[in-house]
Every structure is written in structure tokens, then in C-alpha cells.
A and B are shown apart, each in its own frame.
Chain A
Amino acid sequence: MREYKLVVLGSGGVGKSALTVQFVQGIFVEKYDPTIEDSYRKQVEAENQQCMLEILDTAGTEQFTAMRDLYMKNGQGFVLVYSITSQASFNDLSDLREQILRVKDTDEVPMILVGNKCDLEDERIVTREQGEQLAKEWRSSFLETSAKSKINVENIFFDLVKQINKKTPEPKRKKKKSSGCALL
């Protein structure tokens, strides 16, 4: 079974944990502790294949950013979350993305931009267009989600798996194939 290392990043309080827990355990809790770092594993079927997702839920708190580089180095796909009720959380993401690209030293990293808390339409500050625009700029996918109302939560992770598969197709059953090649 192929493993996927996914990392959830974004400012504090945007709902990274809420999304992750909603996806992994199927529940929404009103109040979460600020995260320090949590990892989850979940087996899913994506693209007609069993996959094991290892999801790292990171800290939004500024102090803990020292560990970010390591997450970025080890992660294969990234979920960049902001809250549609906070412009600041949206703006913070550009630096985060830049940092990912820098650490990976490439321009193409599987990534998805996520505008969470879309159930709070009344408090919306970041428009959907702004999100779409940014995603276009980044050439990444984009989703508006709600951990509370269970909107688009699973799609985040499926989309990422798809991106990773596309970028690095699974190394085919190693030993046999390679020896076959050698014969040729």
C-alpha cells in the first residue's frame, strides 16, 4: 500500500485541526486546543487504490515555526488553510508557500489552497474570487470548505493524493520489473 505524507499548514485558529479531525474521525468539536503537532493515519481508497495517508496537523502559533522546515522537507503534499473570515490568515499563506518551494527547491509541489469556515457566510471577508485568483496564480487547486458543516473536507485529501500520483507515479512493482529491464 502506498503511503502519502500530507502536511496541513496555516495560521492559528483557521481550522486545521478541525478539518483534519473531521476527515480522520468524522467529528467536529466546537473547541480545540491550539495544536503543537499531531499526526494522524487513515487508510482510504483513492483512485481505485488503497492508500495510507499520514497527515501532519501543524501549529499555527508563530513560536513553533522552527519545526516547519522539517515538515516541509518530509511532506509530499501540502494543505494551505486560511479562514474566509480573516484576511490576515489569507495573506500569511504566500510566505508559507514560498517557504515550501524554497525548501523543496522546486516550483512544482503538490499543494491545495483551502478557504475554511465557509459556513460562516455572514462573517466572510475573503471573497471566493480572491481565493480562486490566488490558486490560479499558484497553479494549485482550490476549495472552500467547512469542517463544521462537512463541506468538501474529504475532497481536500483526495485531490492531494491525485496530485501526488500524477507528479510521481507509483514506482511499479520494483524488483521484477527492473530485472526485466536489465534483460532487455
Chain B
Amino acid sequence: MMCGDDINQSINTDMQEDTGPEHCATSNSMNESVKVLENLQIKIGEAKHLIPGNRDTRNSYCSVCLDQEEIFKTRIIEKSLSPFFQEDVDFDIPHKFRLLCFNLHDVQEDVLVKRDHIYAKVAIKKTDIVKYNAHEHWFPLMPVESCSKVQGQVYIDVKFSHYQSLGLNVEDGHKLTVRIPECSGLMISSGNCDPYVTVSLQGTHRNETKKTRVRKATTNPHFDDEFVFELNKNNNLRRSWFDLTLGGNEMKVADQEHWTALTLKVAVYSSGTLGDEFLGEVKIPLSSLIDMKCHAGWYLLNARSGKTTGNGVKEDFGSIRVKIVYIKDYVFPSHVYNELLQQLVSSVNVEPVSASWPNIMSTVCGVRNRPQVVRSLVRIFLHQSMLSQLIEPLADDEIDRNQSPSTLFRNSSLVSGLIEESMRLVGLNYLFNILSPSIEKIKTEKKPCEIDPSRLGAPSFAMASSTSSIDMNSQASDQSQSNMNNLWEYVHQVVTAILKSAPQCPSLFCEIFNGLRNSVTKHMPDDANTRYSAVASFIFLRFFAAALLSPRQYKLVNEDMDATSSRTCTLVAKIVQHLCNKSMPKAASTQTASYVNTFCKRFVTQEHLDSIQNFIDVISSTMKCLDSKGRTSSILEKVMLKEGEMVKRAQGRTFLLSRKNFKTRYFALTNYELSYRKNKSSKPLCIIPVQEIIGVEKLQEESFRMGYMFQVIQPNRVLYCKANNSVDQKEWMDVLLKVCTCNRNRAQHYHPGAFLQGKYICCNSTTQKAPGCTRVTGLPASIRLSTDLDRELERIYSLLSSSVERIHQLQEECGARAVYVGPQLPSSSQFDSEESVSVEDTDIEQSLPPPNPNKFDVEDPQHTFRTLCSMLECISTLKELHEEYFTASGANDAELGTHERPYGDT
């Protein structure tokens, strides 16, 4: 139980305002347009030392939940007590939450039933996430006993009032009014949850209980009952008995007892045919509420007091390795970022390149933050249709500095990061068309393809070393022959698809590759190889091969593949990569004895190699570029924006009552159209051009008694979709809104409820075409359109503002150098962002004695200094705004009694 102090303290701060569950803290107009966006990136590594289940092992998967809502789950790892998951998930947080949970489920499949239960979990409070932010951590697991049914919260609203009884003996009295407007996140046990709440006033001599009605099938019930308790009851026996007969409620009255000694108990039950089930309770001593007229807030449900579970013995229930990255951005209206955007965009022309914003950002933010810098830069410049202008000078600079052609672009750098990210952002659709048929085939056929002799036929080392009989040898070689043939079939299909795809290669790719090629030719005119290998190290190594190795990350498959298929894909990737290397004009004469070599010698002809070289020629040629220049930029190409399964209701059904019109479909949204089909690879059943999407809104849950529903409003009909969870719902709605923002004929009004049985359940209009009854939600189109850009600019700001110290250091260094060498510094000293800075990184992290403190290599002190100044200026303007906002909007932390921070949450 909580202590009274706790309540008193919090109530002083927020008692008067009955803000209810939705808490909103904005005061002036600027603040209202600030959007708070939160993002979670989670990597689930592995678990270890798990407690075995009843078959001495576990078939486990791990789910990620925001409070009780499941957002993501890994695949099942069978028969392991140390399952290795290695899966990532990244999502915008759709609603407030209190706990981030990782649940380990055990799945047992018998012939008839499939049982899935949670046996261990980690629950991390939102406020605690910062402690672990961005660092991988082994979290100890807690066991989940199946008997504990307590979870969730209850909203309690109490009011004290004075009354004068009009009876014979006129006397003052006190009255307590209790309302339980809602509960949330109750436990679903034995399949369903039909909750009701009891409210009791308890003392040593008094126990008075009232209860709400039962709500059917919900874990978030709302109640409208109101309960009144008389506090001076013992002075008024008669009336109490009267009450009793009227209300039929149970009551015991006895000796005198002052009301402040009483306790208010709120308990939640689920009603069931076999008896009701206890779901949790809250006890509030009235003494803690003495000085208040009213009090309201969310309370955490507790298990029955007296039945303490923890016996003090710390046992090891295993642990799970997880990395959580939590980012919270305060995105201001676009105009706030004008200056920053201006500076950033104009800086791509700065000479020397080392003094440009991107380069300096990568320097001051450090290697560890580079992925974030890269991510935001690519999105901002893509939005401005200036991606190739960003990359070209940087790449040229890196090529210029490179000493040895054999290691060009082998290491990771700002440039390689930018190009990779661009390819991912623009090229997924292109990639899918090329690789998915082959991957599907590999997945379904599962032909054995292993050609590595050390893995073939002799899985254990013992067998390989023992002198195997001739019989076994020949068997193994037969096997390897057929495996080679199988593998070649797949490789051939993949290579053919790649080669044929040259005309479809996104023009942005071609622009970037053409730039690379020109730079290499300029700086290494005599090197015939590198102009090819530079391009190949991106399109083949970092795109095709990378996608074959992790098809899920590149959205080629929805689930991780089985071991055989994924090994086959790895082999295909290796061969493709090898072919690409062999195709260089002056390919290395490979002397290394490897099975890949043997394989290629057998199947690959010069013709194959020539056509690969030709492919690289085409995708990096000016021809293709010129050809595409007419089309202003990559925007006109079809880009996959979001895809995945959802349940949809048959469109245009007006009077059919049946709920069976719901079907699971595979949806895909591109910048041109929304379509759905039976499954990912079948033909579309319906295509809705984005011009016809005139609105996207949530759908009232009551419409179909289903959560996560939204509607895609078209001029003549509405498509109702049910997403998988609230994250999914938010993502679909956000991206749909984005694509249709430019539509002129956007709906101004809509129906929040569905059209069912001949009428809209929201407004009872009986014609389906009746004009909407509610104004559309959301922000004005102008704001929404640029949200993404603003968000990325805000990211840039926050990355820079957390590196201010290093900006100052670099500035000092520039100053020192300018003084030391004089203004006319020949641009000789080498500047390498990664190098100088990350030395410092390691220093900070490892408290190494710095070998070279403050060692920033500055090529051009003047220009660098100038850039740094403009950077600092931008940061300080934005910082002021942020601070203004924080003071205006008060504390950032959730207040006690809100859903995220309920009372009783220790």
C-alpha cells in the first residue's frame, strides 16, 4: 500500500483540475503546435539460463509490449534454454504507456492444441528506460506465476460533501461520492474478461460494499455508476437501515468509529459462470484524504494484501540481453527550422568539403552517432531533391584522399553510410522485384545447396577425421554434385534478374553511381578496375549481397527464414559477390583454394562476367542519367511506403449485417496507390489511387467491437481496416495521411462510426452518402506535410546540441591553427573526420590517457571556423525556443496519478 504522504503531496499539485485520463499541458499558441514524438528502437539479442518447462526445455519466443499491448514478437526458437533471437524492431510510440515489457512465451504444440503461455518477463518502467538507453544490457527475468491475475489500473474519483439532514434532529453530516469512470489493462484470464468493480468502505466495525454493473468482454471497461457513502452513519442508524432495505446492499453497522479511520477499498472482478475472479484491488485510507474536497487519479491495482508473494530469496530465473534506444523529439513548426535548413543545404557547395556541415557534423557527433546523422541527412536532402548534390562532393573528397585502390570504400565512412542509407530508402521496391521471386523459390523448394565440404556430409569433426570408406566418399561427392547444380540454379536466377533490372534501376542510384565513377576516373585515370569496384562495392556488396544475407531487414520476407534457406541465401550472396569481383576488368587471379572458386570455375563463363561488367556500365552511365534528368528526381518513381497484413471489411456493403465480411489481406501503399491482395505475391484485388483517398480517420471501436480500426475515406465509399496493434495503426494512418495530403478534395467532415444495418452508428443518418457528422481530425495540411522534414531537422538540432562541447573544442583548434600557420594555410594537412574524433570517443568511454588531446585535424581553419559559428548560432536560437517551451509547459515528467504514473507505483 501507499503511504498517505505520497498522496497528500501529489494532490496539492494537481487536485483541483479534474483533467481525467487525458492530460494536456499546453498554454500558448507556439506550444500547441509543438509535437512530441517518441521513438523506440529495440534489439532483442538472446536469453540465457532459462528455467526449463515440463519437457526439460522451452520453445520460446519473446514479445515486446507497451503495457499490455503486444507490439512485436520474435520467431520461435525451439528446444533451447538459451534462445538466440537477434531481432530488431523500431517504431514510433503511439500512445502513453507506463511499462515496456519483454515477455518470454513458451509454445507447446500437441496434436490438437497449441498452448502459448508467458513464463518469464522483464518490465521496465518508462521513467527507467533512460538508465539503459542505447546500451545493451542483460536484464534479469522475473517468473510469471500463472496464479497472479493482477495487472492494470483503475481510475478513482472521490468527492467529499457536506449535507444537512432534514430529519428531526438537524445535524451536519459528511458524504463521500465515489465514481470509477474506467479501468485499463485488466488481465484476461480463462479466455475472457467481464469486469465489474466493487467499492467498499471498511472499518473495524463497518463494511459497506457497492458494485457496478458488469461490462462484457473488455479489459478497459467504462462505468457510469456513482456511489454515495454517508460518513457519519453511526449517528443515524435509522436512516441507514432504511437505505439498506432500499439499496439491497450489504452493510454492518456497529459502534462509534470516526470516519477518518475508515478505508476505501476498490476491487475489480471478472464475472464468470464458475464464480467471479479477483483482478486486483486498491485501498485508500480516508485519513490520507482528510484535507481535500475531491481527489482523482489512476491507481495501480494490487494483489490482495496479506498474501505477499516475495519470500525474500533471490533466485535466478535467467536473463535476457536487450538494447533499447529511446528518442523523444520536440518538433516545432517548420519556420523554426528555416535557418538550419538553409545553412545545411547551402553548405554542400562549401569549399573545401571538409568545412561543410555534413562533414563537421560527422566529426563532432562522433562515430557512434554517425548512423543517426546519416539517417537524418539522407532524409532531409531527399526531401529537398538534393541527395546526389550532398553525396557527390563528399565522395569525391574521399576518393581523392584514398591511398590504395584496393581498400577504397571497404571501410565504413560518412560517404558509405550516406550511399547505403539512400539505397535503402529509395531502392527497396526495386530490390523486391529483383530478389523476391528467387527468395520465395528458395524458401519453398528448400533444395539442399551446401557446397562447403567441411559442412557437407560430415557435420561432426569426428567423422571428417576418421578414415572414411570409399563408399561414403562417393556418396558425399554425389551429394555435392547435386547441391552444386541446385545452387547454380538459384544463383543463375538471381544474376539474371539483376542483369535484366538495369533499366529499372532508380535514377537516383544512377546519379550517385555516375558521380562515383567520374570521381574515380578523374583521380585514378590509369586504374581500369576501381571505377567498377567503387560502384560494385555499393550495388553488389552493400545492397544485393546485404539483402540476401538479411532479407527481413530489407523487407524481402516478413519473417526470418529457416536455417537451410538462410544458408542457401548466404551461399548465393557469396557467389554473386564473387562473380562481381571476377567481372572486374583486371580481376585478381584467385589462387586461394576455396569451394567458391571451384564452384565458379565449373559454371561461370566469360560471358556471365562480361554482362555483369556491362550492367555496372549501364547503371553508372551518363546516358541513363540524362535520360532520367527530365524526371526531376526520384520522387516520380514508385516507392513502397508501407506494406503488411491487415484485416479489412468488404467495401461498399450497405446493409449486409454479417460480420463475416472481414478478411485478412496483404496491403501495400506506394506513393501512387493503396492496394491489397490475398498475399504478398498474388495479384491485387483492389487498387485505390492516392488521389482518391480523401481522408484517413480512426473508426469508433463500437462499430465492430474491434480495436485498432481506421477508415480510408474515398469519394464514394469507405474502406474499413483493422491494423494489428496501435503501433501498426498509427503507422498506417500516418503514412496514408501523408500521401493524400496534397489532394485538393480532402474531406472536411466524416463519420467516426461505421455504416451498419442501414445507418451510421455515430449520427444515425440513413443514407450512406450522408455528409460527415464530425470535423476531420488532425492538423492543417500545411503543417502535416512537412512533419517529416521538421522531425529530421529537430534530430539534427538535438544531435548537434549534445555535441556543443566538441564544437567548441574544434573551434579552439581552428583558432590555434589560424594563428599558428597564418591565414594563408596551404591545404596540406590531412583531415579525416573519423580518425581524429573517435580517438576522443574512446578516450571518453575508456578513460584512456589521450595520446593526442584535442587532436582535430583541420584542413582549412577559416572556413571550418565559419561553419562552426553558424552551427552554434543555429543551435542557440533553437535552444532558446526549446527552453521557453519547457518552462511554459511545466515538468516533462508525467504527474502522479496519471496513467503513466499511477498512484501506488513504487
Whether both chains belong to one complex is answered with yes
**A interface, CB within 8 angstroms of B:** 1, 3, 11-13, 21, 25, 27, 29-34, 36-39, 41, 52, 60-64, 66-67, 69-70, 73, 85-89, 91-92, 94-95, 98-99, 102-103, 105, 123, 125, 127, 129-130, 133-134, 137
Partner of B541, one of A30, A34, A39: A34
Interface flags for B462-479 (1: CB within 8 Å of A; 0: not) read 000100000000000000
Would you mind naming 24 contact pairs between A and B with Cβ atoms under 8 Å apart? Answer: A27-B591, A29-B590, A29-B591, A30-B588, A31-B588, A36-B577, A38-B594, A62-B412, A62-B416, A63-B541, A63-B549, A66-B86, A69-B45, A69-B46, A70-B86, A87-B832, A88-B411, A88-B413, A88-B838, A91-B838, A92-B838, A99-B136, A102-B321, A105-B321
Min CB distance A64 to B, Å, is 6
Partner of B546, one of A30, A52, A64: A64
Enumerate chain A residues within 8 angstroms of B592, measured Cβ to Cβ.
21, 25, 27, 29
Q: A62-B420, A70-B86, A88-B832 are in contact. Are A94 and B577 (CB under 8 A)?
A: no
Q: A30-B588, A94-B845, A95-B368 are in contact. Are A87 and B574 (CB under 8 A)?
A: no
Q: A25-B592, A37-B570 are in contact. Are A66 and B410 (CB under 8 A)?
A: no
Interface flags for B544-581 (1: CB within 8 Å of A; 0: not) read 01100110010000000000000000100110011001
Residue of B nearest to A37 (CB): B570
Q: A21-B592, A36-B570, A92-B367 are in contact. Are A70 and B577 (CB under 8 A)?
A: no
Residue of B nearest to A102 (CB): B136
Partner of A88, one of B84, B578, B590, B834: B834
Contacting pair B367 A133 (CB below 8 A) = no
Contacting pair B594 A123 (CB below 8 A) = no
| New contact pairs (20) apart from A86-B411, A87-B836, CB-CB < 8 Å | A3-B461, A11-B410, A12-B412, A13-B407, A21-B592, A27-B592, A29-B588, A31-B588, A33-B577, A36-B549, A61-B412, A61-B541, A62-B420, A63-B550, A66-B553, A88-B832, A91-B838, A91-B841, A102-B321, A125-B835
Enumerate chain A residues within 8 angstroms of B411, measured Cβ to Cβ.
11-13, 60, 86, 88-89
Contacting pair A94 B461 (CB below 8 A) = no
Enumerate chain B residues within 8 angstroms of A127, measured Cβ to Cβ.
851
Contacting pair A25 B542 (CB below 8 A) = no
Chain B, interface size category, equals 35 or more
Bound Cα distance from A1 to B466, whole angstroms = 12
Contacting pair A39 B570 (CB below 8 A) = no
Min CB distance A60 to B, Å, is 7
A-contacting residues, B634-693, CB 8 Å: none
Contacting pair A133 B835 (CB below 8 A) = no
Bound Cα distance from A110 to B95, whole angstroms = 46
Residue of A nearest to B407 (CB): A13
Min CB distance B864 to A, Å, is 19
Residue of A nearest to B855 (CB): A87
Contacting pair B406 A31 (CB below 8 A) = yes
Contacting pair B321 A12 (CB below 8 A) = no
Contacting pair A52 B461 (CB below 8 A) = yes
Query: Which of B411, B574, B594, B835 gathers most chain A CB within 10 Å?
Result: B411
Residue of B nearest to A67 (CB): B549
Enumerate chain A residues within 8 angstroms of B590, measured Cβ to Cβ.
29
Contacting pair A88 B545 (CB below 8 A) = no
Partner of B454, one of A30, A33, A41, A62: A41
Bound Cα distance from A125 to B855, whole angstroms = 13
Q: A31-B588, A33-B577, A36-B570 are in contact. Are A63 and B420 (CB under 8 A)?
A: yes
Enumerate chain B residues within 8 angstroms of A129, measured Cβ to Cβ.
851
Enumerate chain A residues within 8 angstroms of B832, measured Cβ to Cβ.
87-88
Q: Answer yes or no: B138 CB below 8 A from chain A CBs.
A: yes
Residue of B nearest to A125 (CB): B835
Partner of B848, one of A36, A85, A134: A134
Bound Cα distance from A61 to B542, whole angstroms = 8
Contacting pair B412 A103 (CB below 8 A) = no
Min CB distance A28 to B, Å, is 10
Contacting pair B848 A87 (CB below 8 A) = no
Enumerate chain B residues within 8 angstroms of A134, measured Cβ to Cβ.
848
Query: Which of B537, B541, B570, B574 gathers most chain A CB within 10 Å?
Result: B541
Bound Cα distance from A33 to B545, whole angstroms = 13
Bound Cα distance from A25 to B136, whole angstroms = 38
Q: Answer yes or no: B449 CB below 8 A from chain A CBs.
A: no
Q: A36-B549, A88-B835, A94-B846 are in contact. Are A13 and B410 (CB under 8 A)?
A: yes
Interface flags for B374-415 (1: CB within 8 Å of A; 0: not) read 000000000000000000000000000001001100111100
Enumerate chain B residues within 8 angstroms of A69, measured Cβ to Cβ.
45-46, 84, 86
Min CB distance B354 to A, Å, is 15
Q: Answer yes or no: B593 CB below 8 A from chain A CBs.
A: yes
Q: Answer yes or no: B842 CB below 8 A from chain A CBs.
A: yes
Q: A13-B407, A88-B413, A102-B321 are in contact. Are A63 and B542 (CB under 8 A)?
A: yes
Bound Cα distance from A52 to B842, whole angstroms = 36
Q: Answer yes or no: B839 CB below 8 A from chain A CBs.
A: yes
Bound Cα distance from A115 to B266, whole angstroms = 68
Contacting pair B84 A73 (CB below 8 A) = yes
Contacting pair B546 A63 (CB below 8 A) = yes
Enumerate chain B residues within 8 angstroms of A11, measured Cβ to Cβ.
410-412
Min CB distance A92 to B, Å, is 7
Bound Cα distance from A21 to B590, whole angstroms = 12
Query: Which of A91, A98, A130 gathers most chain B CB within 10 Å?
Result: A91
Enumerate chain B residues within 8 angstroms of A39, measured Cβ to Cβ.
452, 454
Min CB distance B553 to A, Å, is 7
Bound Cα distance from A129 to B570, whole angstroms = 40
Contacting pair B45 A103 (CB below 8 A) = yes
Enumerate chain A residues within 8 angstroms of B546, measured Cβ to Cβ.
61, 63-64
Min CB distance A8 to B, Å, is 15
Query: Which of B321, B413, B578, B592 gathers most chain A CB within 10 Å?
Result: B592
Enumerate chain A residues within 8 angstroms of B136, measured Cβ to Cβ.
99, 102
Enumerate chain B residues within 8 angstroms of A33, measured Cβ to Cβ.
577-578, 581, 588
Bound Cα distance from A94 to B834, whole angstroms = 14
- Top 3 nearest A-B pairs (CB, nearest first) are A13-B410, A31-B588, A87-B835
Contacting pair A12 B848 (CB below 8 A) = no
Bound Cα distance from A120 to B241, whole angstroms = 100
Contacting pair B86 A91 (CB below 8 A) = no
Contacting pair B578 A34 (CB below 8 A) = no
Min CB distance B111 to A, Å, is 33
Contacting pair A91 B367 (CB below 8 A) = yes
Enumerate chain B residues within 8 angstroms of A32, measured Cβ to Cβ.
588
Bound Cα distance from A103 to B841, whole angstroms = 21
Enumerate chain B residues within 8 angstroms of A64, measured Cβ to Cβ.
546, 549
Partner of B406, one of A13, A27, A37, A94: A13
Enumerate chain A residues within 8 angstroms of B48, measured Cβ to Cβ.
105
Residue of B nearest to A91 (CB): B838
Contacting pair B846 A12 (CB below 8 A) = no
Min CB distance B554 to A, Å, is 10
Contacting pair A103 B321 (CB below 8 A) = yes
Bound Cα distance from A133 to B839, whole angstroms = 13
Residue of A nearest to B82 (CB): A73
Partner of A123, one of B403, B578, B848, B851: B403
Bound Cα distance from A98 to B135, whole angstroms = 10
Bound Cα distance from A161 to B581, whole angstroms = 34
Contacting pair B835 A91 (CB below 8 A) = yes
Interface flags for B448-461 (1: CB within 8 Å of A; 0: not) read 00001010000001
Enumerate chain A residues within 8 angstroms of B553, measured Cβ to Cβ.
66
Enumerate chain A residues within 8 angstroms of B138, measured Cβ to Cβ.
105
Enumerate chain B residues within 8 angstroms of A34, measured Cβ to Cβ.
410, 537, 541, 577
Contacting pair B406 A91 (CB below 8 A) = no
Min CB distance B74 to A, Å, is 14
Min CB distance A59 to B, Å, is 9
Bound Cα distance from A63 to B542, whole angstroms = 7
Min CB distance B512 to A, Å, is 17
Bound Cα distance from A88 to B367, whole angstroms = 9
Contacting pair A36 B454 (CB below 8 A) = no
Enumerate chain B residues within 8 angstroms of A102, measured Cβ to Cβ.
136, 321
Min CB distance A90 to B, Å, is 8
Bound Cα distance from A89 to B410, whole angstroms = 11
